[in-house]
Structure 1
Amino acid sequence: MDAGDAPRVQDLDLNLLKAFHAVHVEKNVGRAALRLGVTQPSVSHALSRLRLVFRDALFVRTPGGVEATPRAQRLAGSIDRVLRILQDMLDEGAQFCAATSRRVFRLHMSDFAESAFLPTLMRELSARAPDVMVETHHIEDSQFNVALESGRIDFALGHFPHASSHFYHSELLHERYVLLMARRVAQRLELDEHYTLGANVPSGLHFIAVTSHPQSTELLERYHLTARVRIAVPNFMVVPAILSRCDYALILPRTVARAFSALGESAVFEIDDAGTWPVNAYWHRRFDADPGHRWLRGLLMELFRIGTAEPFDSWLGAPLNLNPEGLHSD
Structure 2
Amino acid sequence: MQTEPNSNPNGQDVLLPPDGDDVPRVQDLDLNLLKAFHAVYVEKNVGRAALRLGMTQPSVSHALSRLRLVFRDALFVRTPGGVEATPRAQRLAGSIDRVLRILQDMLDEGAQFCAATSRRVFRLHMSDFAESAFLPTLMRELDTRAPGVVIETHHIEDSQFNMAIESGRIDFALGHFPHASSHFHFSELLQERYVLLMARRVARRLELDEHFTLGLNAPDGLHFIAVTSHPQATELLERYGLTSRVRLAVPNFMVVPAILSRCDYALIVPHTVARAFSTPGDSAMFEIDDASTWPVNAYWHRRFDADPGHRWLRGLLMELFRIGAREPFDSWLGAPLDLAPDSAHNA
Report the CA distance between 1:95 and its aligned residue.
2.0
Equivalent of 1:42, from 37, 43, 59?
Answer: 59
SS at structure 2 position matched to 1:314: helix
Report the CA distance between 1:89 and its aligned residue.
1.3
State the distance in 1 between where 2:328 and 2:265 align.
Answer: 24
- Deviations 1:287-316 (CA, angstroms, capped at 9, x unpaired): 111122111111111111122211210103
Indicate conservation of the 8 Å contact 2:142/2:149, yes or no.
yes
Report the CA distance between 1:318 and its aligned residue.
6.4
Equivalent in the alignment of 1:234: 251
State the distance in 2 between where 1:263 and 1:81 align.
Answer: 61
Equivalent of 1:142, from 154, 159, 163?
Answer: 159
Report the CA distance between 1:113 and its aligned residue.
0.5
Residue 317 and residue 271 in structure 1: after superposition, are their counterparts in 2 closer, same or farther (change >3 A)? closer
Structure 1: 5+ residue stretches without partners:
320-330
State the distance in 1 between where 2:146 and 2:20 align.
Answer: 54
Report the CA distance between 1:223 and its aligned residue.
1.7
Equivalent of 1:171, from 182, 185, 188?
Answer: 188
AA aligned opposite 2:114:
C
Equivalent in the alignment of 1:91: 108
Alignment of 1:186-201 (within 5 A): 186-201=203-218
Equivalent of 2:129, from 112, 135, 160?
Answer: 112
Report the CA distance between 1:263 and its aligned residue.
6.2
Which deviates further from its counterpart, 252-261 or 62-71? Answer: 62-71
AA aligned opposite 1:193:
E
- Deviations 1:193-231 (CA, angstroms, capped at 9, x unpaired): 111111111222221111111111111221222222222
Equivalent in the alignment of 1:28: 45
State the distance in 2 between where 1:11 and 1:232 align.
Answer: 73
Structure 1 outlier segments of 4+, above 6 Å: none
Q: For the pair shown, which has the larger CA radius of gyration, 1 or 2? A: 2
Equivalent of 1:223, from 237, 240, 258?
Answer: 240
- Deviations 1:133-185 (CA, angstroms, capped at 9, x unpaired): 11111111111111111111111111000000011111111111111110101
State the distance in 1 between where 2:334 and 2:290 align.
Answer: 31
Report the CA distance between 1:264 and its aligned residue.
6.0
Equivalent of 1:248, from 260, 265, 269?
Answer: 265
State the distance in 1 between where 2:81 and 2:121 align.
Answer: 53
State the distance in 1 between where 2:196 and 2:246 align.
Answer: 14
Equivalent in the alignment of 2:298: 281
State the distance in 1 between where 2:198 and 2:333 align.
Answer: 20
Indicate conservation of the 8 Å contact 2:275/2:333, yes or no.
no
State the distance in 2 between where 1:282 and 1:61 align.
Answer: 61
Identity value in percent? 89
State the distance in 1 between where 2:59 and 2:42 align.
Answer: 17
Structure 2: 5+ residue stretches without partners:
1-18, 337-347
SS at structure 1 position matched to 2:232: helix
Equivalent in the alignment of 1:69: 86
Equivalent of 1:127, from 144, 147, 153?
Answer: 144
SS at structure 2 position matched to 1:94: coil
State the distance in 2 between where 1:214 and 1:71 align.
Answer: 77
State the distance in 1 between where 2:285 and 2:335 align.
Answer: 19
Which deviates further from its counterpart, 64-73 or 104-113? Answer: 64-73
State the distance in 2 between where 1:121 and 1:189 align.
Answer: 37
State the distance in 1 between where 2:319 and 2:180 align.
Answer: 23
State the distance in 2 between where 1:208 and 1:67 align.
Answer: 85
Equivalent in the alignment of 2:27: 10
Equivalent of 1:305, from 322, 327, 331?
Answer: 322
Residue 2 and residue 164 in structure 1: after superposition, are their counterparts in 2 closer, same or farther (change >3 A)? farther
State the distance in 2 between where 1:227 and 1:317 align.
Answer: 35
- Deviations 1:213-268 (CA, angstroms, capped at 9, x unpaired): 11111112212222222221111111000100111111110110011124661111
State the distance in 2 between where 1:270 and 1:196 align.
Answer: 5
